Every structure is written in C-alpha cells, then in structure tokens.
Amino acid sequence: MNPAELDERLSRISTMWTIHLQAHREGVAALQAELLRRYRGPAFRYLIACVHDADVAEDLAQEFALRFLRGDFGKADRSRGRFRDYLRVSLSRLATDYYRQQAKQGVELAADPTDRRPPESADREYDEHWRDELLNRAWSAMAKESPTEYAALKLRVESPDMNSVEMATQLSERLGREISSDSVRKAIERGRKRFAETLLDEVAATLDEADAESLEAELTDLGLIRYCRSALERRGAAK
C-alpha cells in the first residue's frame, strides 16, 4: 500500500472513530478516546497483518469502534496496564471473530479459525509501528513548540558528521535568519531535552500507572530508553 492510500484510509478511520466516540462520549473516558484516535495507524496496520486485506481491515476498524463502545473487549481491561497491550489484544480478538464468521459462511480458510492467532511478525510490526508513532508525535510537537530546536536537532540526526559551522550555515538558510554556531550547539542541547520530555509524556499517556518503574519498562520494551534515560532520571529526582 502506497503512502497516499494509507493516509486516505487512516483519515477515513479517524473520521469514523471520532464520530462514534463523540456520540458515546459519556461511556468512554476522554483519554482513552484520544489514545484510540492517536494510534489508529498501528491499529490499522495490525489488522492488515492479521487479515492480509486492506479493505477487510478498514471494515474491521469500523467494527472495532462499535465493539469498543459497547464494552465487548472488557476483559482486556483498558483501565489497567498498557493501552498498547489492551488495543492489541482487542484487535486480535476482532480478527479471530472475523475468521470464525468466514468459516460459518463456508469460506475456506488456511487454518482452523478457532486456533487462529496473529503471527509473531504481526506483533513485532505492531510494536515497531507504535514506536514510530510515538517518535513522530514527539517530533511534531517539538516542531510546533520550538521550530529552531526542532530544525537543529533534526539536522544533527540527519547529518551526524556535520560540524556546528556547517550546520549554522544550513540552518540560517532554512530558517531565513542568521544562526551562529554557538546558537546551534545550544539549540541542539535544548532540543534533546525537549524531545526526551515530550516522548516521555507521550509514553506516560498510554500507561495507567505512569510511575518511573513503569515508564522505564515501557521505554525499554519499545527500544526508546536511549532517548529518555536522562529525562527519566531528572523526572524521578524532581519528585
């Protein structure tokens, strides 16, 4: 699926989920509704990995919103632990139900639908897409809050061997104003701290218990701890 088609499908999913959630706002916590909208990308890709059909995955995404609101996935308690796990388990159950329904309708399946589980590769991809979404959201927030720090840190990531003088020249052209090499160094330092804090906030929002231990475990599990270790230590020391 090309990026344009994916964006179009995700836009449709976002719209329909928003409509469903707004219609049932009293039954769904605001944070859970927002998380559902934020992570529609990993959810949709996970459904594709489970059913191997983008059209079916899009239909299931709408079905998921309806079942979510009815509380059909209650045993995967979204009020405890990680929203990431709750969402994955709920989507997996939805895919299993789809295979069972297909079997009842006489559609030949490659495997017994009662034993059907998403492949391990789908779980790995789901975590990778979730991690990418967290990073992208941190970058986007930083770009809005501090364009100079964002531009400096992004350039450092893209061109790690570039010295501060060369970076100053490029950033001056990109930002349309004079940037000194000293300003570049300071912007990168501030940018790293801002990026780490923003990423921590994004991860914390997906956890029911966002204490230091839970945050560290989730960051480690997703391979993000290297971006946030200092910020996590600062946050712990401030309490």
Domain contains 33: yes
Structure tokens at 107: 């559609």
Q: Are residues 27 and 57 in the same domain?
A: yes
Q: Are residues 105 and 165 in the same domain?
A: no
User: Taking a C-beta distance cutoff of 8 angstroms, is the pair 171, 151 a contact?
Assistant: yes
Show which of 62, 94, 118 is a domain's final residue. 118
User: Taking a C-beta distance cutoff of 8 angstroms, is the pair 218, 207 a contact?
Assistant: yes
Domain contains 178: yes
Q: Are residues 71 and 151 in the same domain?
A: no
Q: Are residues 166 and 112 in the same domain?
A: no
Structure tokens at 61: 């995404």
d(CA 114, CA 99) in angstroms, rounded, equals: 8
Identify which of 56, 58, 21, 51 has the alpha carbon closest to the alpha carbon of residue 36.
Answer: 21
Task: Report how far apart the first and last C-alpha atoms of the chain are (Å, whole number).
Answer: 46
In this structure, which amino acid lies at residue 32?
Q
The reported pLDDT for the residue numbered 193 is: 94
The reported pLDDT for the residue numbered 156 is: 95
3-state secondary structure of 82: strand
The reported pLDDT for the residue numbered 112 is: 43
pTM of structure: 0.83
3-state secondary structure of 27: coil
Domain contains 123: no
**Mean pLDDT for each 10-residue chunk of the chain (239 residues)?**
86 80 59 80 91 89 82 59 86 86 69 52 90 95 94 95 94 94 95 94 87 91 93 75
Strand partners, 207: 82
Show which of 118, 148, 173 is a domain's final residue. 118
Q: Which domain holds residue 205?
A: 128-237
Q: Are residues 85 and 161 in the same domain?
A: no
Find all residues with CB under 8 Å of 39, minimum gap 6, and list them: 83, 84, 87, 130, 133
Number of domains in the chain: 2
Q: Are residues 132 and 192 in the same domain?
A: yes
Show which of 85, 118, 151 is a domain's final residue. 118
The reported pLDDT for the residue numbered 212 is: 87
User: Taking a C-beta distance cutoff of 8 angstroms, is the pair 232, 197 a contact?
Assistant: no
Identify which of 73, 125, 116 has the alpha carbon closest to the alpha carbon of residue 96.
Answer: 116
- CA 208 to each of CA 81, 215, 238: distance values in angstroms, whole numbers, following the listed order: 5, 10, 21
